[in-house]
Structure 1
Amino acid sequence: MTTPDTPLLPNYIAGRWQTGHGHGTTLRDAVTGESLVRVDNTGLNLHEGFVFAREHGGAALRAMSYGQRAAMLGEVVKVLQTNRDAYYDIATRNSGTTTKDSAVDIDGGIFTLGYYAKQGEALGDAKCLLDGERIRMGKDPVFQTQHVLNPTRGVALFINAFNFPSWGLWEKAAPALLSGVPVIVKPATATAWLTQRMVEDVVKAGVLPEGALSVICGSSAHLMDQLQPFDVVSFTGSAETARIIRSHPAVAQRSVRCNIEADSLNSALLDPSATVDSEAFKLMVSEVVREMTVKSGQKCTAIRRIFVPLELFDDAAEAISAKLAKVTVGNPRNETVRMGALVSQEQKRSVLHGIEALCHEALVLFDGSEVPLVDADPEASACVAPTLLGHRDPGQAKVLHEIEVFGPVATLMAYEDEDEAWDLVRRGEGSLVASVYSEDPAFIARAAAELADSHGRVHAISPDVAASQTGHGNVMPMSLHGGPGRAGGGEELGGLRALGFYHRRTAVQASSAALDALAATAAPFKP
């Protein structure tokens, strides 16, 4: 239960720290259930905060060049590096992650910031971006058109998910701030502490202009109401909430630009020519186990469906189960533990309910709950052991292609030929990523061509890249992150492509002399 001295985290909005006037929501230790901190934003003047961010933060950022804003991101990196130990402690307590899993979130976010700091350096003193070459408007070359990208004169609202409180902030904030757009982040309540602490450290270090970065913890009520036509909103979370955001008047009537990352039934596909002794088979097994257990399967990019040739179904089930059996689950403070907890009891209930729903169609091939937890009370902790399900004829299944269980759960599925494999993968109706395991470049090329339209990323793992590939579920800043259909239809990252979301494209039609003067203040946009 919440103790009277459980601290209430302050929000940073309108250039000052403010606490809510309500009791708030208590954040708890994911393993022990101990109350940690409270979050609340009751009574805050949201309108004042959004106006302050636009008028003060936006103006200050736009007065800087891309190169100056890139240097500013570099200073943010230094602040975060200095406080890494505190972030790891918060992640262990609030998110229940092992040190290795915390690094994916914390160091991944810092790495992404550093990447955009370096990318921005190349844009130098420019204040806007030239999109493409000039185009003649007629026979006389004196009158031409030049497409230009300018930072939007609004605010970027981030409504983030619980699984990546660090990376989820910085992978969005890096291109926004580099673009010259102020950020207001509303972290998911369950794990808001890490986001709030990072913002606090950056604000107190004074490396950003006032109003450039704000954090609001607690309820998201009325946040969307504050958005104006030149603002943007980026959401990561459930498809249900995404539908509410898309139908909000800010988006539907005021044309606020919206980016969504929602549910995703990501796939792993093994080449039909693979054998149980092939390197492709071994690489797939290792990657599946890693994706099921890193951050306890709480990744939007985690593998949820595993497609193998029918004749390898039993071998794959045995190999994956054997590796899962070696995964120790429990308190991440214990050095022998490889997989920690889910972030909350609510998430634990959701995962267990999801497993039950999938079991109406699938068989349990491996149940890790049969092994006792390490240093963790099964009732008090939010720990859920890995579960591998299976279906030999997934073409007859329905819920297996509809329900994403956001935890250490995946379903092994058999296919008979390539055409059936493509069809089964597409049953996910749009995903963030599909990974392909093969020693045949021709098969990889066919898979990429067949699956590209329904996936934001196709990640091909072959023996020649086994040591250098970055992982099915790792989102790298130089590649696009997002996906069509049920995955939300959004795009993030992709190098400088991410800047496009925070800019407005305009066609400037003018004389060559005028366009020359414009180009003197601009840099070519080369994503």
Structure 2
Amino acid sequence: MKTLPRVPLSSTGSLYIDGAWVEPHSTATIDVIDSTTEQVFYSVPDADVDDIDRAIAAARKAFDEGPWPRLSHAERAEVLLTIAEAVEQRIDDVVEIWPRETGILASSVGVVMQEVIETYRYYAGLATDFAFAEEVAPTNGAAFGMIVKEPVGVVGAIIPWNSPMGLLAWKVAPALLAGCTVVVKCSPEAPGAGYIMAEIADTIGLPPGVLNVVTAEREASEALVRDPRVDKIAFTGSTEAGKRIGGILGGRIARSSLELGGKSPAIVLDDFDVADAARIIAAAECFLSGQICASLTRVIVPEERHDAMVAALAEEFSRVTIGDPYDPTTRLGPVATARQRARVQDYIEIGRQEGAELAYGGGRPAHLDSGWFVEPTVFGRVAVESRLGQEEIFGPVLAVQPARDLDDAIRIANATEFGLNAAVFTHDSARVLAIARRLHSGTVGQNGNRADFGIGFGGFKRSGIGREGGVAGLQAYLENKTVVLDAPPT
């Protein structure tokens, strides 16, 4: 008999609200499916509007009446350090969960989890490094002025399925340091990270209502966005969902951070070896099966190098071993869900119909008859205005686009509604900087995907509003209050 995978979670039948594991109001459940076997891995409650209401009420009470916002930043930083230690102790549990939920390679989880741990430590360090209050000179004749940075209030953190542990950390850590209370809304596809964080909050004795964790589908999730008791929504997900959330929040003048989609270009200049560029780009596209918003999915090259680049990418993809994410020889696991696999396959068919040249991939690997696997795929001569060249696919599909010259390459790079990430492949750093100033992108890196949450990550245009990570990621959870006095306080 085949051994069932271990589910390293203690309370999957409950919701975490107001510092306790509680019975859900809803009787509906969500099955979390193993992306490799297509079998049910575990199930969690599907929170309804009443459950969301309870979580919001707990967070509101904890902010308005509880001790958390009234602690010093140093005291809250100590809690963040304790969370970091607790997360470190749960790495093996994340290895059991995350690959099954999303297809990430088990060998990659430890590296990503170190970044998660450092996120909590980084924001703990800002307790002393960031100026939460500073003296300023009044301009209206008063004797003394201050800017005090205070917590925005109750935060609704809506977490996507692709990298939940990391994206949860970049929201929860700065929010907690600022003094906010949080309702975490996990994705139905990958709630494991939220449950681990709820267990950590329970174990370390975080005050009731400071961190609440629920999993819900769209209707209940929208109740979180609409509720006037929630001061800010921090969302990572698709641009379409972000547009709806932004519209709702605009109607009630609520705060938001929206980290949305991308169709990020990699411009390969004539001094960079085509084979080296292909190796770097193809390897990055295999990470998390291409389910990364900042993934460099458009490769822009001079016309005379186009065919060589397509051939080099096809050669790199032909060497990729596809299969079980727990097998150390595997380089590409499945995508997260049946719906996601169907989406990727639809775009591959769209590429064919639009006349792009399919150079490699395009289907299910022949040796895998179960699991949501897609071959890594590369198309050549992808038209700028085509759907394949414009729309986010969120899977291991690359589009190569020829350019007449550098000006044309920059035009192509900027010719989408997105502006999340970009790269320029050249050995001349000064050239990269000059080109970066012309690219409409939240991040521009040299010779690879250099998205850096430690500095700050976010997009231009329809790739989002605001930044996550770095000092800017903390400022997103703070409100500036101007205080003007007749005399300096004693």
Q: Are the structure 2 counterparts of residues 55 and 358 from structure 1 closer, same or farther at C-alpha, using a change threshold of 3 Å?
A: same
Superposed displacement of residue 116, structure 1: 1.6
CA deviation after TM superposition for structure 1 residue 229, in Å: 6.4
Q: Structure 2: how far apart are the matches of 1:437 and 1:301?
A: 16
Letter in 1 for 2:264: N
- Any idea what the Cα deviations from partners look like across 1:35-65, whole Å, max 9, x if unmatched? 1222221374433321221222563221211
- Within 5 Å, give how 1:464-503 maps onto structure 2: 472=449, 475-493=451-469, 495-503=470-478
Residue identity opposite 2:258 in structure 1: I
Aligned twin of 1:135? 137
User: Counterparts in 2 of 1:353-392, with a 5 A limit?
Assistant: 353-361=346-354, 362-367=356-361, 369=363, 372-373=366-367, 377-378=368-369, 380-391=370-381
Output the TM-score relative to the length of structure 2.
Answer: 0.90
3-state SS of the aligned residue for 2:180? Answer: coil
CA contact (8 A) 2:257 2:466 kept: yes
| Corresponding residue number in structure 2 for 1:89 | 96
Of 26, 29, 32 in structure 2, the residue corresponding to residue 24 of structure 1 is 29
Tell me which residue corresponds to 1:115: 122
Task: Report the Cα distance in structure 1 between the residues aligned to 2:316 and 2:201, rounded to whole angstroms.
Answer: 44
Assess if the C-alpha contact under 8 Å between 2:364 and 2:374 holds in 1.
Answer: no
Q: Report if the CA contact (8 A) 1:265-1:428 is conserved.
A: yes
2:437 maps to a residue whose letter is A
What is the CA–CA distance in structure 1 between the aligned matches of 2:120 and 2:289, rounded to whole Å? 25
Q: Quick check: 2:429–2:446 contact (8 Å CA) kept in 1?
A: no
Q: How do residues 222-261 of structure 1 correspond to structure 2 at under 5 angstroms?
A: 222=220, 223-224=223-224, 227-228=227-228, 231-248=231-248, 251-261=249-259
The one-letter code matched in structure 2 to 1:106 is M
Q: What are structure 1's unaligned runs of at least 5 residues?
A: 462-470, 518-527
2:58 paired residue number: 52
Amino acid corresponding to residue 480 of structure 1 in structure 2:
G
Deviations 1:42-99 (A, max 9, x none): 3744333212212225632212111221111110011111121111011132223212
Letter of the 2:19 counterpart:
G
Secondary structure of the structure 1 residue equivalent to 2:173: helix
Contact 2:56 2:230 in 1 (8 A): no
Could you tell me the TM-score, scaled by structure 1's length?
Answer: 0.84
Alignment root-mean-square deviation, CA: 2.4
The match for 1:289 is 282
Runs of 4+ deviating beyond 4 Å? 368-371
Conserved 8 A contact 2:20-2:202:
no
Residue of structure 1 equivalent to 2:266? 268
Is residue 98 from structure 1 mapped to residue 105 from structure 2 by the alignment? Answer: yes
Question: Structure 1 vs Structure 2: percent identity of aligned residues?
Answer: 25
Q: Distance in 2 between matches of 1:294 and 1:327?
A: 12
Kindly provide the amino acid, as one letter, of the partner of residue 10 in structure 1. S
Tell me the amino acid that sits aligned with residue 76 of structure 1: I
Whole-angstrom CA distance in 1 between matches of 2:170 and 2:437: 28
Q: Would the alpha carbon gap of residues 477 and 241 (structure 1) be closer, same or farther in structure 2, given more than 3 Å must change?
A: closer
Correspondence list, 1:435-454, <5 A: 435-451=423-439, 454=440
Deviation at 1:27, TM superposition (A): 0.8
Equivalence for 1:147: 147
CA distance in 1, matches of 2:293, 2:412: 20
Change (3 A) 1:87 1:442: closer
Distance 1:500 1:43, change over 3 A: closer
Distance (Å, rounded) in 2 between the aligned partners of 1:370 and 1:383: 6
Distance 2:487 2:353 in 1: 68
Which whole-Å CA distance do the structure 2 matches of 1:367 and 1:27 have between them? Answer: 28
- Render the CA deviation track for 1:476-505: whole Å, top value 9, x for unaligned: 332221102121233211x22212111111
Change (3 A) 1:216 1:71: same
Which residue type is aligned with residue 191 of structure 1? Answer: A
Conservation of the 8 A alpha-carbon contact between 2:155 and 2:230 = no
What residue number does 2:441 align with? 455
Distance 1:429 1:176, change over 3 A: same
Q: Residue 419 of structure 1 corresponds to which residue in structure 2?
A: 407
Aligned length: 476
Cα 1:430–1:370 change in 2 (3 A) is: closer
Residues 177-229 of structure 1 deviation map (CA, whole Å, 9 limit, x = unaligned): 11111111111111112322x12321231242221111111224243356326
Distance 2:363 2:75 in 1: 53
Is 1:307 the counterpart of 2:300? The answer is yes
Q: Distance in 2 between matches of 1:432 and 1:66?
A: 32
